A and B are shown apart, each in its own frame.
Chain A
């Protein structure tokens, strides 16, 4: 079984400040890890993913995340927040083995960017 915990359902930062959204996962096998962004009344857009290789993953819009196996974490960061970053962010995990290819999502973190 696998699960995802996102600490903080709401995070507020000032424009230009560091963005840190936390994600911890539980998986019995090495996982694939994802961050998605959802704007109001829209679908999910992939920000970045970790499959294999380098543990620091860079994504779109200046976001990056680091896979830390020892901490079972995959936190999302961005050095400087922009007003357009205000959205809901979802962390997700998927098995790397077997036929179970579906994603398991966290409950989401709503990011507010203050002017």
Chain B
């Protein structure tokens, strides 16, 4: 049973480009969370999704950032027109509906904006 899969592991983008980060949750997990970790800081919540629904996006910047979790396929975190301040590690965690306190984290995508 594979864990939470995130790809790519490393992503380099020039300022103004788009970044797409993918997260495949564990088999049977229908809830996905995205977190951002800036250098020397803890993880900050961005968005909580269930299949085809955004449940809570209170941590997501209002502009340039969007997330989806389609019925089929991985969850996608999309950052448009990236800026240097977007450079961070982005982590995805998944859980089942019943395991409201059991999160499995992926290994993250490290985004570098040059």
| Among listed A12-20, A43-51, A62-70, interface-contacting one | A43-51
B91 near A43 (CB under 8 angstroms)?
A: yes
Complex Cα distance, B42 from A6, in Å, reads 10
| Among listed A53-61, A79-87, A97-105, interface-contacting one | A97-105
A94 near B41 (CB under 8 angstroms)?
A: no
Residue of B whose beta carbon sits closest to that of A49 = B101
B55 near A32 (CB under 8 angstroms)?
A: no
Report the minimum CB–CB distance from B105 to chain A (whole Å).
4
Residues of A within 8 A of B (CB): 4, 32, 34, 36, 41-46, 49, 51, 90, 94, 99-108
B84 within 8 A of partner (CB) = no
B45 near A103 (CB under 8 angstroms)?
A: yes
Task: Return chain B residues, CB-CB under 8 Å to A108.
Answer: 41-42
Kindly name the residue among B44, B55, B105 whose own CB sees the greatest number of chain A CB atoms within 10 A.
B105
B25 within 8 A of partner (CB) = no
Instruction: Kindly identify which residue among A49, A102, A106 contacts B42, using a CB–CB cutoff of 8 Å.
Output: A106
Task: Return chain A residues, CB-CB under 8 Å to B41.
Answer: 107-108
Interface string of B36-47 (1 = CB under 8 A from A): 000001111100
In the complex, 20 of the A-B residue pairs with CB atoms within 8 angstroms, ordered by the A residue number, are A34-B101, A36-B105, A41-B110, A43-B6, A43-B106, A43-B107, A44-B93, A49-B101, A51-B101, A90-B43, A94-B101, A99-B56, A101-B31, A101-B33, A102-B45, A102-B56, A103-B35, A103-B43, A103-B103, A105-B44
